[in-house]
Structure 1
Amino acid sequence: MLDTGTTGIIVGILLFFMLTFGVHIGVALGLSGVVGIFLAINPQASFAQVATIPFSTTNSFTLAVIPLFILMGALASQAGLTTDLYRAAYRWLGRISGGLAMATTLASAIFGAACGSTIVNAAVFTKMAMPEMTRFGYDKRISAGCIAASGTLASLIPPSVLMIVYAVITEQSVARLLIAGLIPGILSAAIYMLGIYFIARLYPKLCPIPDERFTLREKISSLKGVWGIMALFTLVIGGIYLGFFVPTYAGAVGAFGAFMIVLLKGRMNSRALIETFKDAGITTSTIFIVVIGGIIFARFLTYTGLVRDVSDWMLAMELAPLTYLLAFAGLYLILGMLIDPIAIMVMTLPIMFPVMTSVGYDPIWLGVISIKLAEISLITPPVGLNAYVVRSSSPVPLTLEQVFAGITPFLVMDVLTLALLIAFPSIVTFLPNLMN
């Protein structure tokens, strides 16, 4: 058997080449982990991981909440809740400078409370909002950037798939993490909207004010379309916060609630139902492949002692806690330019989580910071996943260069939000600390 250092180098090179040649990140992580265990321990140990981990991972009661939340979002979209949300937000904000973009941000944030998937969020609002914003004369860059950035809000605002993945990897409370993301998610949306307002005031040609006006009665009338999302959010997050049910039960209740809303609105037929379940299944499978591969890779890191060795080496430097945090943030941002957020988390947290908690950082607060960094990675070039989703889903002709150009001011806003969360940790920990 090879020594740990040699095995680590071989596995690192193997993983790098597989990612370079386009191998799916979950498959690349899994194969690298299997090869590493094969070389460092023995063939039987590596085959045992392949035989047991896929079942033990997908058989997890905690991870069962992921497909339920994804299904809830898919059903909410099928019910037309996004259209109702967008219409209401536009009627209330349309006449403000940058109001249409602000309406998109607000509607996207609220839909994130029933969705949990940034990809679904970005795709839905690209198809809906992009034609509207360009029709009213909005610059395509700012429109695309707004949609791509707003889509990431589903990562923080509960329910969040990334929060669940973080909880599973770090063995933290799913309920506390979901609740912890609520205030930071609202803060992120508020900073986006404030930033849009200032951009529109400085460069009014980018965001012209529509001529269309609405009476107060029409504005109030539009709110009746928001009841579905608010009911789901109250049911799921309220139930978790008050301790009525655990997150997995909340996911089941939310999915059933979304299904009932679809039936009440008369927007369900057999073909739509099949497509909704199929899309939810594909999204879930993609996430689970990454998680399974990541856990196999994490087992390699643990069995060979690499986690302990790297953690001990980093802690032995006795740096200031803020230095470790900056290194953690830098690692996320660099990897975010290359791979998707779930892969980043399953690759980095087995090593970095023990280091960060050892120097005094609260694990729940660290989870929200990790998710915020993952949000930023979703819109950073060259592999900002949400940018590609917006580009491919847009009914309006759009280039990647235009999307990334529009994203730039939102990256600045994200850095501001991140700085506030770091400077004032109670923004994150306030609500979880009130839970029983």
Structure 2
Amino acid sequence: MLFGAGNLIFPVHLGQLAGKNWLAASNGFLISSVLLPLMALIAISITHSQGVFDLAKPVGSKYALVFLVLIHITLGPLLATPRTATVPYTIGIAPFLPANLDKVGLVIFSAIFFGIVYGLSATEAKVTDLIGKILNPIFLVLLFLIFFLAFLNPMGAAKTAPVTSAYTTNAFTNSFLQGYNTMDCLAALVFGITVITAIREMGFKQEKEVAMTTVKSGLVGILGIAVIYICLIWLGATSLHDFKLSSNGGTALSQIFHRYLGIGGDALIAVLTTLTCITTAMGLVVAFAQDFHQRFSKISYKTFLAINCFLSFVIANLGLDMIISWSKPVLMLLYPLAISLVILGILSPLFKNDPIVYRVTTALTLIPAIFDMINALPDGLRSTAFIQEILTYAQHYLPMFDIGFSWVSFSLIGLIVGLGIHFLRRQNSAVVEE
């Protein structure tokens, strides 16, 4: 459920951006795109939450509902779900179309894509078992075939690949932020209960057993995904010897597949990428429709499903580059809030899930996250006089603002203050009882 469109293209693009600093970039990317999703699953397990709403509820029910809606809209029709159509189109279809037919081709492809997604999701067809258990492994085998061929006959040495200015000195921090684009931490918060439920159905009933099994199985998953990411990042770095820096990883991946497998490989990757992205899209639209129907029961599951698929179709036709450019500000707002929530969930036994710790930490995390979101706006908006005044203020008063980490110190202060209030209250309560 977690390995979808973004997991393919962003590591390759990161490799092209980082060049010879690809290894340092891998470390930051792996922490945000692999370790954080595992931590999200652990947080859900430890807090016995049924999903992101329950995990955020100690902050307040209204906040939890707003946060749930924002995450689902981001994973749904705003960013992630449209990307499931644009990525296979960019990789498998666009390279074979004349430039003047690119937009028409995307309209036709995305319409068929989301029509299939809606049909399968509405009927809950078992075809997902076929795709998930047979075609996805075939796709991974094909991916590792590319890795094998690339190791035997590399396009060039990664250690001599050119580096973009952003990755010359800040490879780790920039790659950590690049990991936000996979949206896997957000997805783990949404899909987490599905994973926990599956573990419980295997016979693990006690909460400690469930938590430990989540950690152990998660570590296996982490190692697998980490290997794929490292290979994709390295592949992106070596590709700079044959290809120019692309605007997105989808274009680069298409070029790399064609180099090693020719026309036959192009056709195979087009089919398999489309099918695997259909699986991911189905998981996203079903989770969206189920959660929204649960919260707003007057509107049917199929109606929410149709709304999501239609809006995703519309957004998809803005193109992959446009979707990626608007992803950054949204993720710069949501990710700090999600990370702080995950850490609070893991630490919750320490402070008995006291809402005051959640509220103080979240409030202080939100302030710099809003500034980070503004700083990540597309250039057309960011260059306005009003926005520039806001950014000048933030640069003066928010530590680590320039590298996108101003929320860290605020969140840490919030956690310390919240814990201080909690333990002070507990101490006073104990004195009163005596």
Q: TM-score, normalised by structure 1?
A: 0.26
Q: Which has the higher helix share?
A: 2
Considering Cα pairs closer than 8 Å and 6+ residues apart, tell me whether 1 or 2 has the greater RCO.
2
Q: TM-score, normalised by structure 2?
A: 0.26
